[in-house]
Structures are given as C-alpha cells and as structure tokens.
Structure 1
C-alpha cells in the first residue's frame, strides 16, 4: 500500500487495519502507541488524510460505476423496446429458439393520473407534519425561545 505520507511502522499498521476495526478497537490501538502528544497528533492526522483520500477515491469509483450501470440499464431498455417493436411489426407475440423464448405479454393494469386535483380526497394519504429544522434554527438564532428545542454549539477537529 502506497501512502501519501511517510508513516512510522505503528501508524502504517493502523492505516492498514483501519477499515476492519470498529471505532473502539481503533481507539485502543492508537492509545497503545506510546508517542508524545505532538507526534501522535501529527501521525494520526496523516492517517486521517490517507483515509480521506481513500474515501474520495471510492466515491469517484462509485460515481463511475453508477454512471456505467445507468448506461447499461438504458441500453437494456432500448433493446427490449426495439425487439418488441420489431416483433409487433411482423405480428409475432412469441419466438422460440434453442436458448431463449421471447414473448410479448400484457402487464398488470396500472393507474395513470391525468389530473391529481380532480381525484377525490378519499384517495389521498394524510402525512405527519415534517419539522423544518432550518426555520427552527433561524428562529432560535433570532432569540426566540421554543419549547423542546435549543441551539447547541459543538466542537470538532480541523486538519489544515
């Protein structure tokens, strides 16, 4: 495994096993490394950057594979429509070969709604109200006191 940063053996080992460990075991592994806090912070930051790079690489690969999947699905849909149209042109509903039986059949009935506003309310499902957290946050920021909600300031680590 090639890494962006030069890591000591201890932190290289942490990087190699990080994907397989649950957070508590990862913490225990890091706690077991006896380095000064400054060295531990720098080396842990290197491991974090390396893992973030892996995440970005995986995200790009997932996007590429999803795009490929979409293209293949589109081709399958096109080929099915093409074959159905060609069979309908020649008036065939079924073709048998050594490998496949290709047939055109009726699908179950489906509902097509031409104008939703004309459909009686009996056919609609009521939904629970949904909390608008952005509106709530802005109200709290403006000093409004709202029972059951409060603003909380969290802290998090930044690596620059």
Structure 2
C-alpha cells in the first residue's frame, strides 16, 4: 500500500462512525510501523477532542442566541399587543398583516416555591442509582443485581 492509499484509507475511516470491532480491524490492517500508527491515532484523538470543544462552545453560543431571540420576541409581542390595546380596536389591518389581540389562558407565576402552602406543591422523588455506593460494594466483591464494573482504561496523550 503506497502513501496515497494509506492516507485515503485513514481519511475514509475518520469520516465513518464505525463500531469498535470494525474500527479496530481497520486500524490493525493499516500497513504502517507500530509507532507511526499509534502516533497517527493519537493525533486523530487530539483532533476529535478539539472538534468536541469547538462544538460545545458553538452549542453554548447557539443556545444563548436562541434565548436572546425568544426574549426579544416576547418583548415585541407584549409591545405589539399593548399598542393595539391602546387604540381600543379589536383588530388592526396593515399592508402585510391582520393584527388581532387574543386572550389565552392566564399564566401562573410562582415567585417563591418555598412560600407556597403544602397543598400547592408536588413532591417528586427521582429514582437514580447511587453509583458511589454501588462502586464501593462491587469493588469490595459484593454482588449488586443489575450493576457491574466495566474497566475504564484510556491513554493520556501529551
């Protein structure tokens, strides 16, 4: 396999979401010296980590933008409704729109949950596993039905 074929194979593997067995088989089949292969895989991991960090930041930015647009839309809606209500008309027709304020079901605003009488509070208990206790018991040899330890080995790339 020449360098161009190797590069094409590596690029094809990087672009696919392969199951662990297929990925391992494909990487094993690459005809490269062991250290070169490991170095390329480490570089690939670093690139993936950079992409994940970029995506995380982008997701946060998009979420912030979404919130800002929702808030702006709510304020514009309040302004528009108040402006039409001030005219005393039930409907206003513009060149592009028919504007008709409408009453919807009143919204409940809870300012302080802890001040509500007990009759107005719903108590829920989310059931979630106590992973710390499960870990400790499993580590000490106790069997826990529905849980087990899975080895978690990774390689540090510097």
Aligned pair count? 149
TM-score normalised by length of structure 1: 0.69
> Unaligned stretches of 5+ in structure 2?
none
Relative to 1, partners in 2 of residues 1:80 and 1:146: Cα closer, same or farther, differing over 3 Å? same
Relative to 1, partners in 2 of residues 1:75 and 1:12: Cα closer, same or farther, differing over 3 Å? farther
Partners of 1:20 and 1:106 in 2: CA distance: 52
> Unaligned stretches of 5+ in structure 1?
1-7
User: Once the two structures are superposed, what CA deviation does each residue of 1:60-117 show, in whole Å capped at 9, x if it has no partner?
Assistant: 2222222112111111111001111222222233212231111111214666778351
**C-alpha contact (below 8 Å) 1:140/1:146 kept by paired residues:** yes
Partners of 1:39 and 1:87 in 2: CA distance: 71
The corresponding residue for 2:88 is 91
User: Once the two structures are superposed, what CA deviation does each residue of 1:23-66 show, in whole Å capped at 9, x if it has no partner?
Assistant: 35544442331112211111111111112212222222222222
**C-alpha contact (below 8 Å) 1:140/1:150 kept by paired residues:** no
Q: Which secondary structure state, in structure 2, belongs to the residue aligned with residue 140 of structure 1? A: helix
- Does 1:132 pair with 2:95? no
The corresponding residue for 2:64 is 67
What is the alpha-carbon root mean square deviation over aligned residues?
A: 3.4
